[in-house]
Amino acid sequence: MSGAQVLPASRPIRGTASVPSDKAISHRGAILGALARGTTVVRRFSGADDCGSTLGALRALGAGVERDGETVRIDGWGARGPAVADAVVECGRSGTTMRLLCGALAGFAVSATLSGDPQLRARPMERVAEPLRLMGAEVATAEGGRPPIRLTGAALRGIDYALPMASAQVKSAVLLAGLRADGPTTIVEPSATRDHTERLLRAMGATIESGRDADGRPCISVEPSSLGAVEVIVPADPSSAAPLLVAAALVPGSDLRIRDVGLNPTRAGLLAALIRMGARVEVDDPGSGAPEPAGMVRIESRPLRGIAVGAAEVPAMIDELPLLGLLGTQAEGTTDVRGAEELRVKESDRIAVLVKGLRDLGADIEELPDGFVVRGPAPLRGGEVDAAGDHRMAMAFAVAGLIASGPVRVRGMESVGDSFPGFLDALEGLR
């Protein structure tokens, strides 16, 4: 379908819900499994289209991949490297697949052309190509630094590299390349990003340390290491839980629980923001996971107030910022988001798409170069909005339909399969 209509909620959102498994951890479990010796088992592997692209790419590179429902087994290529010397690798719409595979392949005697759908071919890739070139790999991008990427692996040298932007994908690519380098590789981040790669690397036997540099910036160092196969249990995706949590925060009288949500602190920014805005949020003690913490999250609606979010907070909620903008439309006062220019180079320009869509529904929202300002509360009206083929935007606009005065039609709703197949059914099941 090219669009879907969402009707206003007629009653509070109540009950207990489940959401799909975490995309980020599923991607990494599969790719690191290919780098390891032995058979890695990933349980509760995500059914999202993007994660299917990762499995297809690994098969194209000669890895043994077996999928039985939500269980995936990857026979790793270990130190011998991919089973093909020259490969064409289709990455679908998945930037994670493309960027992490560049790092995974950079240290092997293999040439690969990585491409994908038109949406992916519009995304910036020089940010990952540059550090890999510094390490010794040959990496060529197309016009404007976009895909397709032509990569030829080489003997790599360890480097010290300061990321120009906070990007978990670029950080992960450099860490994976560092496994094959001739010495330590150290990455300095402008602010901390999600650490799923680091957690998995430790679990698989890599020598990796995290800390702060002399200026207080987050830094991660990895030694040349071989990886051993492990079993990975993937928790529910906090970014998929987010639209349902926000729906419950916005619809008066709601009380929602979501099971087994990933509670990694580097992904918990939206929960912290909801609490600051006044929603009641309860989280089970996550304890220690395998290797990720997870637990039940409960949210009850309360009157909301506007908040300010700065650059240091953005990485922990980068995928949820459009939803924060929606929350701001119903909050008392101003919700101000800065330092989020990375939103402009996602599957769409999420700042521009968010501002136009919410304005079309009656919101008072201002576009900034690196974020947005929302003034609320403002009643939303029904209408038609365009998600620009972006799954995060489609889900945010669908949630907006629950609190609008009339039906909201969302164009581009088919894109939700990239991360949350069955999202509309899940949303309707809570009404």
DSSP states along 382-394? -EEEE-TT-HHHH
Distance CA 191, CA 211 (A): 12
Q: How far is the C-alpha of 257 from the C-alpha of 107, rounded, in Å? A: 44
Rounded to 5 degrees, what angle do the CA atoms 67, 296, 229 make?
35
Which entry of 50, 75, 195, 319 is annotated as an active-site residue? 319
Buried b / exposed e along 178-217 (16+ C-beta atoms within 10 A): bbbbeebbbbbbbbbbbbbbbbbbebbebebeeeeeeeee
From CA 65, how far away is CA 70, in angstroms rounded? 13
**Cβ 285 vs Cβ 311: under 8 Å:** no
Dist CA 275 CA 179 (whole Å) = 39
Tokens standing for residue 157: 């040298």
List the one residue out of 103, 224, 96, 98 whose CA is nearest residue 174. 103
- Residue 355 CA to residue 349 CA, distance in Å, equals 10
- CA-nearest of 320, 350, 326, 337 to 403 is 326
Could you give the dihedral angle defined by the CA atoms of residues 208, 210, 212 and 217, in that order, rounded to the nearest 10 degrees?
Answer: 100
DSSP-assigned letters across all residues of 106-169 = TTSS-EEEEE--HHHHTS--HHHHHHHHHHT-EEEEEGGGEEEEEEE---B---EEE-SS--HH
For residues 207 and 370, what is the distance between their CA atoms, to the nearest angstrom? 36
319 is catalytic: yes
* Gap between the Cα atoms of 107 and 191, Å rounded: 27
Neighbours of 169 (CB within 10 A): 22
Tokens linked to 316: 């922990």
Q: What are the φ and ψ backbone dihedral angles of 28, each rounded to 5 degrees?
A: -70, -40
Tokens matching residue 431:
């009404």
Residue 239 tokens read as 């970014």
Which residues are catalytic, by number?
319
